[in-house]
Amino acid sequence: MPDCGVVQMQSRFRSDRGLTVRMTVTLFLLGLLYVAFVAALIVLLKSWLLVVVLIAAMFVAQFWFSDRIALFAMRGRVVEREEYPELHAVVDRLCALSDMPKPVVAVSDMDMPNAFATGRNPQNAVVCVTTGLLRRLEPAELEGVLAHELSHVAHKDVAVITVASFLGVIAGLIVRFAFYSQVFGGGRRDQNTAAVFAAVMGVSAAVYALSFLLIRALSRYRELAADRAAALLTGRPSALASALAKVSGDIARIPTKDLRTAQAFNAFYFTPAIGREPGIERFFSTHPSLAQRLDQLGRISDELGEAATPGKAG
């Protein structure tokens, strides 16, 4: 077995040209939006140094520490082989199969069955699963989920989503700051200051809305790409289909109040932390519908000559 810790030039996860094109276009459009946003803030706030320094500092913090932030928010902790030998064995096997460096392995003590990957590149990646997922899945199903998460790392779409989401986070924070400043301090400001705050709030809201739509469109496609790559790598799309059906069904039974904290990280999850399949809001969802994902895995199963019936682990 090759050493998973050795950095390889390219993994054996099948490349996805459609995903690459979408990531490139999304980053280009968000880059233009980012420049326009910074320019607007400089004009409105009349302090280019303050704007550039603050946004640059927050970008560096999010990009370099995104893995730690995500683990902290979801109560994840790094686990060694001695504590979770079977989990490490599956990750080792997939690393060898895909010829990619082994990520840090973490576990989150949550009943919600889910998993996510984060990190700025394959050499600095983290794959985290919840204890709820480990309790519910068979070994073949767990392998399919972990292959899905590792494909996000191999395709580098985790880093792209991290960078892309930064602009929306900043715009959202500014909207909140401007709103609460107006609510609690509006009486102490003159009309010019109020006009500047209103303009900043308007620009930030527009930027947030545009970045929100761009990220959601990319996120839905990258989930289908990860399902496809994982199914082809393991050769068992039925196992991944079974895991999807099982996890989605169990999440639907978890009280909504227990899902609210997790929903902020839906773009990174294997399956979104929502209690039901979305209706019209599916156009703003981070994930394609369960039916779309199962339908794709069914087609791949037909191509490989394997029966991908949800409920069978293969």
Mean pLDDT of 212-240: 92
Rounded average pLDDT over 62-90: 85
Structure confidence at residue 232 (pLDDT): 94
The reported pTM is 0.79
What is the pLDDT of the chain when averaged over all its residues?
80
Residue-level pLDDT at 241: 96
pLDDT digits (tens, 9 = 90+) for 177-189: 656 655 445 545 5
* Contact (CB, 8 A) for 259 and 273: yes
Which candidate in 149, 277, 281, 306 is catalytic? 149
| Most confident region among 9-23, 66-80, 171-185 by mean pLDDT | 66-80
**What is the per-residue pLDDT across 239-257, written as a single tens digit (0 to 9) for each?**
999 999 999 888 877 766 6
What confidence category does residue 304 fall into, taking pLDDT thresholds of 50, 70 and 90?
A: confident
pLDDT at 170: 67
- The answer on whether 155 is annotated among ligand-binding residues is no
With cut-offs at 50, 70 and 90, classify the pLDDT of residue 294: very high
- Residues of the chain with pLDDT > 90, as a percent, come to 35
pLDDT tens readout for residues 47-67:
777 777 777 777 777 667 767
Active site residue 149: yes
Query: Has residue 24 got a pLDDT over 80?
Result: yes
Q: Is 287 one of the annotated binding-site residues?
A: no
What is the chain's length? 314
- Kindly report which listed range (135-144, 153-162, 200-209) carries the lowest average pLDDT score: 200-209
